[in-house]
Structure 1
């Protein structure tokens, strides 16, 4: 898992873990020792174990520990969720003789992270050397890491659809809990505070939008290293009284229903699971054009360049003028491929067939 810090990939993996057939497949988690949000109690309750290993920034100790663990535990499947960095654990898994080695692409790259992008570009040519199978959260993410003509399987960032379906009672209760009045236009964003998610852009949009729509609030859900800078920028713009910093939340499914619009100004995304969740909740979405169009399951999502701030403002204003007559669509067949129950059953079958074909099958993996 690399570093478990409360991000989107961790939530995807944990969601699958809760729903796979654990009589056939069991997960153990290898996490960097400096991880800050490891749900150890839940993992242990579900039958798994957590192994803390040296951070990958210490490559020699990291690799030695991995090879040692792979040899001791004899896991038939090693599934790496750390994108271009999967080169390191999967090379160790191959050295230790792990028969099934899965590289999983959850992301891509974009502007704003120079050093990180250099590392991704350096490692990407080696992404096909060590895996026996390739997974990706979207076609876009798979092609980016493995190549345009590579053979890979799309494993969607699936969710509990019913948990996110719109409920007017939940909306009213959640807005009341946030202290947001019925006539306030509430824009929402969910994401870790880091360069990729580009939250400061939304502050600039809000600052120019407020003179035209003064009854607007912006709610940030999440935490991360960039949060203090974003808070300071809000103060410098003089709009901090229009912003809610909600931190890490366990009721994100309810928050989507409180939002009148959802914005994701990411510099890059593998898919954008939060946009899927927002649409299932019936929330109009405005996304950067660096988010894959596979994230549009409502066929009503706007994708706008980050270079065109005025278009972001006009699109959000247009949404605000329609909220009074907003129709919530809860029967969306495009969302069905993101149903976690069906997706987890499929993943279980993929694990079992992979282990069997590699002669690594045991009664319980």
Structure 2
């Protein structure tokens, strides 16, 4: 989301610099530097590291008083940078909500504590959806209109269907013309529930369909997915593509998009799939706000057979004709939305000058 906006900013007017909490180089760092951005590194935000993080971040702001806007995407942990930013006199402090309530688990009390502590410190509250806002900021804040929706917008031109791109990616993946490619985009993490798709794939194959599953993304469950695929006899039918810079191209190669997430603040990957006209199936845990085309089929996660039945009947190469105006009308066309965010930044700076 951040990179999509960054690419479409007038960088002579607004420049993004990034503060990251990992030692290794990320997928977009080379591009960020090419676009003129700087990357700073700090330690991880683990509970035992909170004191060090606060000290290091305070020192960072004192060394860099030029930063007048802090835009934090850390969910409830935005409490730490935004509180320190207020104490150090940073005038524009933005919290950005991306996920909704995930149900009770061992981290719930921890997360609740910090989201309540967060609330006094942002000057502005952004969100990708109403549900994400309700969780991070509270129902009253949403009801009072103190939240601004900033969609995870995309470039409609990039996602327009291309038979040439489809053929090229399918050739790279060594797929035959009669292979039904089931696709998913997301971190390899429990939330994204890709393990469920192995069950679905197994059932699709048992129906005599020549099918493969491609998952675009990286994460901690890579090895576990690989082991489970071997256990089910699916090693040759699972493609773990990793993190790629051209996600839209991989969407072109797919025949159906399957999105079984346990929870989502919105489900941006589902919107991207619709932008290329893919038939899409999503878990009924995914917000219906992501169904901008009204073509997504929602199914429960306790019935992999129902998923397999629908997927097995989808024709290879089927596409819905998604008009670019649909993205614009739902505020998902990045050229328009980046301009809005750029104006927000510029007007915010003017207001404190």
1:170-319 maps to which residues of 2 (within 5 A)?
170-318=165-313
Give the structure 1 partner of residue 32 of structure 2: 43
In the alignment, is the contact (CA less than 8 A) between 1:188 and 1:218 conserved in 2? Answer: yes
Q: 1:340 aligns with which of 331, 334, 340?
A: 334
Q: Could you tell me whether the CA contact under 8 Å between 2:70 and 2:94 is conserved in 1?
A: yes
User: Could you say which residue in structure 2 is the equivalent of 1:100?
Assistant: 92
Could you tell me how far 1:155 is from its partner in structure 2? 0.6
Find the counterpart in structure 2 of residue 355 from structure 1. 349
- The question of whether the paired residues in 2 share the 8 Å contact of 1:205 and 1:313 is answered with yes
Unaligned residue ranges in structure 1 (runs of 5+): 1-11
Asked if 1:134 corresponds to 2:125, the answer is yes
For the 8 Å contact 2:156–2:324, the answer to whether it is kept is no
Q: Is the aligned partner of 1:61 residue 2:56?
A: no
Structure 2 residue aligned with 1:88: 80
CA shift, 1:231, in A, is 0.7
Distance 1:341 1:179 in 2: 35
Stretches (4+) displaced over 4 A: none
SS at match of 1:241: coil
Give the superposition deviation at 1:44: 2.7
C-alpha contact 1:63 1:89 (8 A) present in aligned 2: yes
- Please, what TM-score do these two structures have when normalized by structure 2? 0.92
Q: Which residue matches 1:5?
A: none
Return the offset for 1:121: 2.5
Distance 2:41 2:32 in 1: 14
CA distance in 2, matches of 1:275, 1:181: 25
Deviation at 1:40, TM superposition (A): 3.4
SS of 1:347 mapped into structure 2: helix
- Give the CA deviation at 1:269: 1.2
| TM norm structure 1 | 0.89
Asked if the contact 1:263/1:286 (under 8 Å) is kept, the reply is yes
Whether the 8 Å contact between 1:32 and 1:53 is mirrored in structure 2 is yes
Out of 21, 38, 54, the residue aligned to residue 10 of structure 2 is 21
Q: Which residue of 2 aligns with 1:77?
A: 69
The alignment of Structure 1 onto Structure 2 pairs a total of residues equal to 344
Give the corresponding residue for 1:4.
none
Task: Provide the secondary structure at the position in 2 that maps to 1:121.
Answer: helix
The answer to whether the 8 A contact 2:127-2:150 is kept is yes
1:33 and 1:323 map into 2 onto residues whose CA distance is: 41
Q: CA deviation at 1:116?
A: 3.8
- Provide the alpha-carbon RMSD of the alignment: 1.8
Matched residue SS, 1:135: strand
Deviation at 1:203, TM superposition (A): 0.5
1:335, distance to aligned residue in structure 2 (A):
1.4
Residue 148 of structure 1: how far off its partner (Å): 2.2
CA distance 1:65–1:177, shift in 2 (3 Å): same
- 1:161-214 Cα offsets, whole Å, 9 max, x none, are 111111122212221221111111110011111111111010011112221143
Looking at structure 2, the residues matched to 317 and 160 of structure 1 have their Cα atoms a distance apart, in angstroms, of 31
CA distance in 1, matches of 2:147, 2:288: 19
Specify the alignment match of 2:150 in structure 1: 155
Greater RCO between the two (CA within 8 Å, min separation 6)? 1
Q: Partner of 2:20: helix, strand, or coil?
A: strand
Worse-matched range after superposition: 68-77 or 194-203:
68-77
Shift of 1:35: 4.5
User: How many angstroms apart in 1 are the aligned matches of 2:74 and 2:297?
Assistant: 29
Q: Secondary structure at the match of 1:271?
A: coil
